[in-house]
Amino acid sequence: MDNEALKEFILQRVPEAELAQGTQYLQVVVPAEKAYTLLSELKSNPQTSFDYLFCVTGVDWPQHMEVVYHLKSTTFNHMVVVKGKISSREKPEIETVCKLWRTAEFHEREIFDLYGIVFKNHPDLRRLLLTDDWVGYPMRKDYDDPVNMIAY
């Protein structure tokens, strides 16, 4: 499916999606509540069949948070970037995609660890890289740690 067809496909399912052509891939921004619906449709629909999730990233913006999913289909070789926009920075929540792609289990744990984004219905949501008693979420822009961080 080319980018135009993909755009149409996505807009039919999630009309509030904001689409933009990035430097490389088609980018789709959807509210966090709609992200799972769209992702599961992209995965399971035989027309798109995005079966390979190669990167999951958390991003901390000044007003909101984002989870970025990079998807590729091994059958059709097309790619898309889906961004789940989480409006609350205080209590960020989004539905997990572990049921769709098992690689998300580790990636989402890492994002929870470093950004504090809670993935609902994740089978095993614990800190991954940091110790269990760590306070705060280091990758957030407002995180401050005078002991372990070097001020520039």
Partner 1 sequence: MEETVYKELESEEYFINMGPQHPSTHGVLRLVLSLDGEIIRKVEPHIGYIHRSIEKMCEHDSYQQIVHLTDRMDYLSCHINNEAVCLGVEMGLQLEVPERVKVIRTIIGELTRLSSHQLWWGVMGMDLGAITTFLYGFRDRELITDIFEETCGARLTMNYNIPGGLMFDIHPNFQKRTKDFITYFKKKLPEYDDLLSNNVIFRERTLGIGNLSKEDAISFGVTGPTGRASGFSCDVRKHHPYSAYNKVEFKEILRTEGDCYARYQCRIDEMWESLSIIEQLIDNIPEGPYKAPTKAVIKLPKGEFYQKVETARGEFGVYIISEGQKSPYRLKFRSPGFSNLSALNHMAQGCKIADLVAIMSTLDLVIPDIDR
The CB-side HSE value for 11 (13 A sphere, CA atoms) comes to 10
Options 2-10, 11-19, 48-56, 85-93: segment touching partner 1 (CB under 8 A): 48-56
Options 8-16, 34-42, 53-61, 88-96: segment touching partner 1 (CB under 8 A): 53-61
User: Which of 33/51 has CB closer to partner 1?
Assistant: 51
Buried/exposed 31-52: b ≥16 CB within 10 Å, e otherwise: ebebbbebbebbbeeeebbbbe
Q: How far is the CB of 79 from partner 1 (least distance, A)?
A: 9
Q: Which of 29, 59, 118, 125 binds partner 1 (CB under 8 A)?
A: 59
82 near partner 1, judged by CB under 8 A? no
Q: Where are the alpha helices (DSSP H) in 80-147?
A: 104-115
Q: Cα(67)–Cα(60) distance, rounded to whole angstroms?
A: 9
Contact yes or no for 137/144 (Cβ under 8 A): no
Q: Cα(113)–Cα(20) distance, rounded to whole angstroms?
A: 30
Q: Which of 14, 19, 125, 139 binds partner 1 (CB under 8 A)?
A: 139
User: Which of 16/150 has CB closer to partner 1?
Assistant: 150
User: Which residues lie near partner 1 (CB under 8 A)?
Assistant: 22-25, 27, 51-55, 57, 59-60, 68, 70, 74, 77, 81, 101-103, 105-107, 110, 128-131, 138-139, 152
